[in-house]
Amino acid sequence: MAVGSDAEAVANAIALGHDAKATGSQSISIGTGNQVSGDGSGAVGDPTTITGAGSYSLGNDNTIDADDAGVFGNDNVLAGTATGSRIIGNDNDVDVADAFVMGNGADVTVAEGMALGNGSIADTGAGEAGYNPTTSSTDGLDAGIAATQSTTGAVAVGDDGAGIYRQITGVAAGTEDSDAVNVAQLKASETHYYSVNDGGTQGGNYANDGASGLNAIAAGVDASASADGAMAFGFGAAAGNADSVALGTDSVTAAPVGTADTTIRGTTYTFAGTAPVGTVSVGDAGSERTVTNVAAGRVSATSTDAINGSQLFATNQAIEDISTTAGTGWDLTAEGTDGTNVAPGDTVDLSSSDGNLVIAKNATEGTQEDVTFALASDIAVDSVTTGNSVLDTSGLSVDDGSGNVTSVTNDGLTVAGGPSVTASGGIDANDQVISNVG
């Protein structure tokens, strides 16, 4: 059916308007100058041209060469390669399949892309890897992140190249891993009880790239953990040794060094924990720190606990008590009198003034150092008493227990109550009988 001057319609087609043409099977052309040659297509408005099959246009000055496409608006073009694409708006030109445009002057350059809003450009296609916060790159390798790679064209709400940006408002909180999240969800996921104040000046580790070692952790401005398993906490803290920890501003770790034992006065003492795998540093050379509020560590032959100051104080007190006792020395007396203090380090010399005693000390290395006392083989004394006998400088006298003394002197022999033979008195029998004279 054709209605209008110069209108033309084939069988089962409709053309309404001046110079309206509906030459496609079952096509519709309503409006001045519309040219619809695609089968099953339709145009409302003028003048519009449709050559694609199954396509429709509602508006003026549109051109559709694509099959199964549609336009609502004016001055739009859908090229023959834009099969299945749709446009709502004005002044749009699309030549890719299955695209969707809503807005004026927008464009979709990738299949299945979607441009929403005036000037929006959808130019990101399928197969794009998303940003991986673990590696700080778009590698799409994190198994813990769902949908790490796009499978169809992107949705654009602006144009980064032209500086066109839009907020998406009224977004409900996402549920699934691949859902969009809203600001309320981001606020709820904000890290609590953790704060780094850089004073407005961005420093190293701002992009969370300070932990370059495997399984390492770096927290703080300019903090770095470059070795595997290392941890650095604080401004400028640097953990460059594996499995080591740097705590505090500008703290730096060092290579672990094992200490197996120590020797004191010839005795070797072995230690526990002689093979450290890392170090914990709270400072650096010239920038040392005290470690306070340390609980008392266990003290045993196998303990590897830290020791605090109070434990060292107790040890020092015990040593001081021993030192005080040892420092008093000892007293040397002679038969309980004339005591003299012998202080540590003093020398006591034992000697015999008259030569009657022989004093000796065993000084052989590694043996007990005994002092021995013995009589000299030749002694000189003023008097010797044994029982009732007395030998002195005047001679020998023997008491019979009843007061009768027999003596031998340099003058001679005198027998108590008996004879005597002396140089001064000669032989005196003292009225005693001399018998058995030969």
For 84-108, the pLDDT digits (tens) are: 999 999 999 999 999 999 999 999 9
Q: Is the pLDDT of residue 140 over 70?
A: no
Q: Is the pLDDT of residue 146 over 90?
A: no
The tokens for 74 are 């004016």
For 208-264, the pLDDT digits (tens) are: 899 999 999 999 999 999 999 999 999 999 999 999 999 999 999 999 999 999 999
The tokens for 138 are 């778009």
Map out the domains of the chain as residue ranges.
55-191, 208-254, 350-380, 383-428
Q: What is the pLDDT of residue 42?
A: 98
% of the chain surpassing 70 pLDDT: 97
DSSP string over 47-103: S-EE-STT-EEESSS-EE-STT-EEESSS-EE-TT-TT-EEESSS-EE-STT-EEES
For 17-35, the pLDDT digits (tens) are: 999 999 999 999 999 999 9
- The Cα 395–Cα 408 span in angstroms is 6
Q: What is the pLDDT of residue 368?
A: 66
pLDDT confidence bin for 366, thresholds 50/70/90: low
Q: Which residue has the tokens 């065993």?
A: 362
Residue, of 69 and 362, whose pLDDT is higher: 69
172-186, 288-302, 390-404, 410-424: range with highest mean pLDDT? 288-302
**Cβ neighbours of residue 23 closer than 8 Å, sequence gap 6 or more:** 8, 9, 10, 13, 35, 36, 37
Mean per-residue pLDDT over the chain, rounded: 91
Of 52-56, 263-267, 269-273, 392-396, least confident by mean pLDDT is 392-396
Q: Is the pLDDT of residue 344 over 70?
A: yes
**Closest Cα to residue 6, out of 39, 41, 34, 42?**
34
Residue, of 343 and 172, whose pLDDT is higher: 172
Classify the C-alpha dihedral 138-142-145-149 as positive or negative.
positive
Q: What is the pLDDT of residue 334?
A: 83
- Mean pLDDT score, 256-280: 96
- The Cα 65–Cα 297 span in angstroms is 85
Q: Is the pLDDT of residue 193 over 80?
A: no
Q: What is the pLDDT of residue 381?
A: 84
Q: What is the CATH number of domain 55-191?
A: 2.150.10.10
Q: Is the pLDDT of residue 77 over 90?
A: yes
251-260, 416-425, 427-436: range with highest mean pLDDT? 251-260
pLDDT confidence bin for 43, thresholds 50/70/90: very high
389 neighbors 398 (Cβ within 8 angstroms): yes
